[in-house]
C-alpha cells in the first residue's frame, strides 16, 4: 500500500468515526427531548391543558407571530453593518430574506444553529470568503447574546424576586461582563486581536496556521470600530426587547396576568437555557424551563406548557414561510 492509499484510508476512517459520533450525539439529543417532554406531559392534567387552549385570544397570538418580522428587520440592520465593515454592500431585502429562510433551517436541522449555517452561506455568496462569512455570523450571534444577557442582568437587579434564583442572576451577570469585555477587546483600538493572533500562530504548525490565519484576520477587521459596536449593540438591545414583547403577547393570548417587567427577567433566562445544545431544537428543555420560571409567578404547569407550545408554534409557522421563500429563491 502506498502513502496515498494510506492517507486515503486514514481520512476515510476519520470520516466514519465523525459520522458515528454525530449519529450517537443526535440519538442522545432525541432521547433528552423525548424524555423531558414525556416526563412533563405525564405530570399535567390534560383537561386543564384543553381549558388553556380553548381560552387562547387569537389577536394576541397574531401579534406574537408578526413580531418575528420586526425581528428579521432589526437583525438585518445589524448584520448589514457588520458586513459593511468587511467591504460588502448587501441590500436589506437580501438580508431580510436570508433571515426568513434561516427560520426554515432552524426547524429543519436538529440544532439551534441551523439558521446560522444558511446565513453563513448567504454571506459567503457575497464575500467569496468562508472565513469572513463565518466570523461575521459569529460576531453577529455574540452581539445578540450580549444584549440578551445585559437585559437579564439589569432586569434581575431591579426585580431580584421574580425568579428567586440568586445563583442564576450571578451567572448572568458574570456572563454579560465576560462577553462584554471580549467584544470590547475585539472592537477597541488596542491591538489585542493582533497580539492574540501572533501568539496563536506561533504555537501552530504551518498547515494549521494557513487554516487559522484567515479567521484571525477577519476578526481584526473589527478593530478600532467602536461606533460600529455601539450601533450594533443598540440594535441588538432593540431586537431582544422585541423578542421579549413577542413572549408577552403569547402570555396575553392565554390571559396570563404577568407584568411586562417580569418577562424581561424570565425570557432571557429561558432563551439562554434553550440555546444549550442538549436537545433537538430546545424541545423538552423549552417546556420545562417555562414551567419552572412561570411557575414562580403563579402560572399553572398546564398554562406554562401551552405557553411554550404556542411560542414554538409561531416559530414553526415562520419555518414554513422560510421554506416557501427558500424554494421560490431557488
Locate 42 and state its grid cell: 405525564
Amino acid 166: pLDDT: 61
Q: List all residues 6 or more positions away from 238 whose beta carbon is below 8 Å from its beta carbon.
A: 74
Q: How many CB atoms lie within 10 A of CB 127?
A: 17
Q: How far apart are CA 155 and CA 197, in angstroms?
A: 37
- Chunked in runs of 10, what are the mean pLDDT values of the chain (330 residues)? 53 68 83 90 91 94 96 96 93 94 84 81 88 93 92 81 67 85 85 73 75 82 90 96 97 93 90 84 90 90 95 93 88
The whole-model pTM stands at 0.87
- Positive or negative CA dihedral for 89, 91, 94, 99? positive
CA of residue 272 relative to chain centroid, distance: 8
Phi, psi for 80 (deg, rounded to 5): -65, -40
Residues 49, 302: Cα–Cα separation, whole Å: 5
State in Å, rounded, how far the first CA of the chain is from the last one. 45
The rounded distance, in Å, linking the Cα atoms of 307 and 263 is: 13
Q: Where are the domains of the chain?
A: 44-189+224-329
- Residue 70's pLDDT is 97
- Predicted local distance difference test score (pLDDT) of residue 237: 96
What's the pLDDT score for residue 12? 66
Amino acid at each position: 500500500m502506498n502513502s496515498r492509499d494510506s492517507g486515503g484510508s486514514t481520512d476515510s476512517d476519520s470520516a466514519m468515526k465523525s459520522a458515528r459520533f454525530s449519529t450517537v450525539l443526535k440519538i442522545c439529543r432525541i432521547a433528552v427531548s423525548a424524555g423531558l417532554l414525556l416526563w412533563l406531559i405525564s405530570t399535567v392534567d390534560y383537561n386543564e391543558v384543553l381549558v388553556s387552549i380553548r381560552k387562547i385570544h387569537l389577536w394576541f397570538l397574531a401579534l406574537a407571530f408578526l413580531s418575528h418580522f420586526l425581528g428579521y428587520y432589526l437583525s438585518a440592520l445589524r448584520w448589514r453593518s457588520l458586513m459593511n465593515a468587511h467591504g460588502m454592500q448587501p441590500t436589506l431585502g437580501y438580508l431580510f430574506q436570508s433571515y426568513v429562510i434561516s427560520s426554515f433551517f432552524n426547524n429543519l436541522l436538529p440544532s439551534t444553529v441551523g439558521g446560522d449555517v444558511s446565513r453563513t452561506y448567504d454571506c459567503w455568496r457575497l464575500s467569496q470568503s468562508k472565513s469572513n462569512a463565518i466570523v461575521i455570523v459569529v460576531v453577529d450571534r455574540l452581539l445578540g447574546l450580549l444584549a440578551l444577557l445585559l437585559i437579564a442582568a439589569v432586569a434581575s437587579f431591579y426585580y431580584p424576586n421574580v425568579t428567586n434564583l440568586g445563583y442564576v442572576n450571578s451567572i448572568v451577570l458574570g456572563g454579560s461582563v465576560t462577553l462584554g469585555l471580549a467584544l470590547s477587546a475585539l472592537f477597541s483600538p488596542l491591538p489585542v486581536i493582533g497580539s492574540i493572533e501572533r501568539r496563536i500562530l506561533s504555537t501552530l504548525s504551518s498547515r494549521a496556521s494557513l487554516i487559522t490565519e484567515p479567521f484571525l484576520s477577519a476578526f481584526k477587521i473589527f478593530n478600532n470600530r467602536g461606533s460600529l459596536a455601539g450601533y450594533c449593540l443598540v440594535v441588538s438591545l432593540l431586537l431582544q426587547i422585541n423578542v421579549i414583547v413577542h413572549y408577552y403577547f403569547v402570555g396575553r393570548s392565554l390571559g396570563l396576568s404577568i407584568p411586562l417587567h417580569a418577562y424581561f427577567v424570565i425570557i432571557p433566562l429561558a432563551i439562554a437555557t434553550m440555546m444549550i445544545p442538549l436537545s433537538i431544537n430546545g424541545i423538552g428543555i423549552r417546556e420545562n424551563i417555562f414551567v419552572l420560571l412561570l411557575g414562580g409567578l403563579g402560572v399553572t404547569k398546564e398554562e406554562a406548557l401551552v405557553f411554550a407550545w404556542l411560542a414554538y408554534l409561531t416559530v414553526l409557522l415562520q419555518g414554513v414561510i422560510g421554506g416557501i421563500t427558500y424554494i421560490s429563491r431557488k
